[in-house]
């Protein structure tokens, strides 16, 4: 009857025989055939037979197993442990999250389309980037608070749009005014007006930065700078001409006012007015010297009775870039007036570019303006035009526009 359903073998009927039993061919053939069938249904130690059903080890172990070579071979615990060690340490942290530390996984497809929670990227500072990056790797950079990847032989940051409104700071500086002239005794040009504030922005909104130029020629005011729809800084007023010049010697009004021109035998010119909250008035001229142009931080100096010209007013002090910088200084008055902090030129000198500095008296030009925004790096989109200079200061990314451009929040 071979084995029963539990694997027990029993001899066929007529067994066992007792003493005195006559052994017939029928008994012998039936018994030996049954034994042969039972042996055929057993697994041979030399591997000649193939199992025809599942093997139930009954909590026993298979020992001394060789390492697998084919895809359907069995494997020992040691063999599997070595594979896991090569991948890294794996530990279930909850039902949906597995942490892998150390090792490397390659040539594996990872399909997470059925998942609805999160995937965690490698996290670390810039200094811990891999020394031999390959195209396609991704990580989160804690130094710059950005997501980044490696492609085209360089690390690149991802364009990200955070949820909800965030705030960036800005500084808008207009172009400085031109210097007044006639025998170089005109007034100094006024510094470009400034606006320093902050703005709540919606991700995806584009803001246009307009950078004003410095004033040129007689009465040449600086050009306004702006963030369209947000803030407009007024260009600096030109310095007044000397008294014999047609039109008189008064300084021109602007973001900061131009200095008054010299009298040259007539009443000396007064300083031009500055725009409230953006700049200061220019200084007064005298008989033989021009007044200094007003600056973002102080009024222009008055000229001495017989000289020298008045110094330009100090510019606006600001730390938006992470460093203390002056902008929109006034230009020096004719006959020796000194320049100022903030790009204001001394007598017969131009204002400094991209500072909004007023020009010193003479055939001189004011300095161009600048627009600077400071965006929290965690919210920085990385989308801009116009080629701004981009730096990082603390937790903020700084964009310095020296020509017109845009930023998309």
| Count of CB atoms situated within 10 Å of the CB of 305 | 10
Buried b / exposed e along 52-73 (16+ C-beta atoms within 10 A): eeeeeeeeeeeeeeeeeeeeee
pLDDT at 93: 46
pLDDT at 300: 97
CB 252 within 8 A of CB 221: yes
Instruction: Quote the CA–CA distance of 84 and 167 in Å, as a whole number.
Output: 47
Closest CA to 186 of 246, 269, 302: 269
User: Dihedral sign, CA of 319, 345, 269, 302?
Assistant: positive
β pairing state of 138-141 and 123-124: parallel
pLDDT at 92: 42
CB 245 within 8 A of CB 254: no
pLDDT at 219: 86
CA 314-389-202 angle, to 5 degrees, is 95
3-state helix, strand and coil shares in percent for the chain, rounded to the nearest 5: 10, 25, 70
Residues linked to residue 405 through DSSP beta bridges, in sequence order: 209
Low-confidence residues of the chain, pLDDT below 50?
A: 90-94, 245-248
The model's pLDDT over 193-226, given as tens digits with 9 standing for 90+, comes to 999 999 999 898 999 999 999 999 888 999 999 9
pLDDT at 99: 56
CB 335 within 8 A of CB 264: no
pLDDT at 246: 37
Q: DSSP label at 87?
A: H
Instruction: Quote the CA–CA distance of 256 and 292 in Å, as a whole number.
Output: 11
Q: DSSP label at 296?
A: S
Instruction: Quote the CA–CA distance of 35 and 52 in Å, as a whole number.
Output: 18
């Amino acid at each position: 009857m071979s084995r029963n359903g539990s694997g027990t073998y029993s001899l066929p009927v007529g067994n066992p025989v007792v003493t005195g039993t006559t052994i017939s061919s029928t008994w012998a053939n039936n018994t030996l055939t049954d034994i042969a069938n039972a042996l055929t249904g057993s697994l041979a130690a030399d591997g000649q037979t193939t199992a025809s059903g599942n093997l139930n080890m009954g909590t026993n172990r298979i020992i001394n197993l060789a390492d697998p070579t084919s895809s359907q071979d069995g494997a020992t615990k040691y063999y599997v442990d070595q594979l896991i060690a090569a991948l890294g340490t794996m530990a279930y942290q909850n039902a949906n999250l597995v942490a892998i530390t150390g090792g490397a996984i390659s040539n594996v497809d990872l399909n997470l389309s059925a998942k609805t929670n999160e995937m965690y990227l490698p996290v670390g500072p810039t200094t811990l980037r891999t020394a031999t990056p390959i195209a396609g790797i991704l990580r989160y950079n804690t130094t710059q608070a950005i997501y980044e990847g490696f492609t085209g032989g360089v690390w690149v940051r991802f364009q990200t749009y955070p949820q909800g409104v965030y705030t960036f700071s800005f500084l808008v500086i207009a172009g400085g005014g031109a210097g007044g002239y006639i025998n170089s005794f005109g007034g100094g040009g006024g510094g470009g007006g400034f606006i320093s504030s902050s703005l709540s922005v919606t991700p995806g909104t584009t803001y246009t930065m307009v950078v004003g130029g410095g004033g040129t020629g007689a009465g040449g005011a600086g050009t306004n700078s702006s963030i369209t729809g947000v803030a407009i800084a007024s260009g600096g007023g030109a310095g007044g001409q000397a008294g014999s010049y047609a039109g008189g010697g008064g300084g021109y009004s602007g973001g900061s006012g131009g200095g008054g021109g010299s009298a040259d035998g007539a009443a000396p010119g007064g300083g031009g007015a500055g725009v409230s909250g953006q700049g200061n008035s220019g200084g007064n001229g005298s008989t033989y010297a021009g007044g200094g142009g007003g600056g973002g931080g102080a009024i222009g100096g008055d000229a001495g009775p017989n000289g020298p010209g008045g110094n330009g007013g100090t510019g606006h002090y600001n730390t938006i870039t992470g460093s203390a910088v002056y902008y929109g200084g006034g230009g020096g008055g004719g006959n020796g007036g000194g320049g100022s902090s903030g790009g204001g030129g001394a007598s017969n000198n131009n204002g400094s570019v991209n500072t909004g500095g007023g020009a010193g008296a003479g055939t001189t030009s004011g300095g161009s303006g600048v627009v600077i925004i400071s965006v929290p790096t965690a919210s920085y989109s990385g989308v801009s035009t116009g080629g701004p200079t981009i730096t990082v200061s603390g937790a903020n990314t700084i964009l310095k526009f020296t020509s017109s451009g845009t930023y998309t929040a």
